Amino acid sequence: MSGCRAVVVGATGAIGSAVTAKFLDEGASVVGGGRSRQKAESLADRERFDFVPVDMESQESVAEFVEQVWSGDGVDVLVHLAATDSQGLALGVTDEEWSRVIEVNLSSTFRLVREMGRRMVDRGLGGRIVLYSSTRSEFAGRAGFAPYGASKAGVNFLVKQLATEWAPHGICVNAVAPGFVLSEITESRASSEFVEMMKRRVPANRLGTAEEMASPAVFLASDDASFMTGQVLFVDGGVTCSS
């Protein structure tokens, strides 16, 4: 990835930090995006890393972020992981909760990718876009995933549609769908009993690591995946194939 300029939105989460570290290890320069500069301190001492604040709940913040990261040398790779969740049965989901999750996980994702894609098309040098989906985009849980699963299912379709439209411009659009990994978005429901239950559901009989969820993003951004677009890679220890 030497000479590549990558933007990682959601760079301060468990998987986002691992994605950022892997791109840096491969020689890319990385602009990390997120709400908390403080959370990016663990990466701040890395060479070729910069941090630009962005709030995916704010259309203005997303627009300003895109303008800022595109100034100068432009962007070769966008990796987008920022997401939010809600808990509880569908009957208890309020309109406000539904709107918040769909706004952050789908609508703001579209705005971000649209503006990044527009600039990639105008530049005429192609590019790579890697979104992060979830196994919940394909398979329901017993409770609590109505807004989140619907938003990630929308991301999966967005990948296919944008890949189709932008392939003539040399832009590949793909997604990674992680299985169960301990991260900020899951720690709130990850009691020891829950973790053991999840392990029993995974054919690999263990949870995934953030690093295992990060490696596919580097592959999809590389020249090795130059003829691969419109795909959602499920990295889940066999959960979806055995469900």
Residues with a known catalytic role: 148
Q: How many CA atoms lie within 13 A of 158 on its CB side?
A: 24
Evaluate whether 8 touches 21 at the Cβ level (below 8 Å).
Answer: no
Q: Which residues contact 153 (CB under 8 A, 6 or more apart)?
A: 137, 138
Q: Round to whole Å and give the CA distance between 51 and 202.
A: 35
Please report which residue ranges of 103-145 form alpha helices under DSSP H: 108-123
Neighbour count for residue 31 (Cβ, 10 Å): 22
Under a CB-based contact definition with an 8 Å cutoff, are residues 133 and 177 in contact?
yes
Q: What is the distance between the alpha carbons of residues 206 and 208, in angstroms, rounded to a whole number?
A: 7
What distance lies between CA 165 and its chain's CA centroid? 20
